[in-house]
Structure 1
Amino acid sequence: MITQAGGVPRGDARLEALHWTHVYSGKVRDLYTSEAAPGRVLVVASDRVSAFDHLLEPGIPGKGAHLTQLSLWWFGRLGMRNHLAAAHPSLGEHLPPGIAERAMLVHELDMHPIEAVVRAYLVGSGWLEYQQTQSVCGIPLPAGLGNGDRLPEPIYTPAFKAPLGEHDENISFDRTVELLGAETAAAIRDASLTIFRTAAAIAEQRGLILADTKFEFGSDPATGELTLADEVLTSDSSRYWDAETYAAGGIHRLDSFDKQIVRDWLAANWDKTGTPPELPAEIVERTAARYEELIERLTA
Structure 2
Amino acid sequence: MPHRTVALLLLATAAALETLHLSNKRSCLFHAPEETTTPVPLVVVLHGYNVEPLNTLDFYFSDLKRLAEERGLAIAAPRGRRLGARGNDGSLCWAAGACCCRTKTKDDADVSFIDEVVEAVRRRAAISALVLVGHSNGGSLALRVACARRDVDALAIFNAPLTHDCAVPATRLYLRHGAADAMLGGREASRVAHPHVPGVGVRETVARFARANGCAGAVESNATQAAHAWDALAPRALVRRSEHRNCAAPVVFDVVDELGHWPSFGLLQTDLRAPLLFAIYGEPITAASAKNNVRLGRPTRIK
Q: Same fold (TM over 0.5)?
A: no
| TM-score when normalising by structure 1 | 0.29
Q: Which has the larger radius of gyration?
A: 1
| TM-score when normalising by structure 2 | 0.29
- Structure of greater relative contact order (alpha carbons < 8 Å, 6+ residues apart): 1
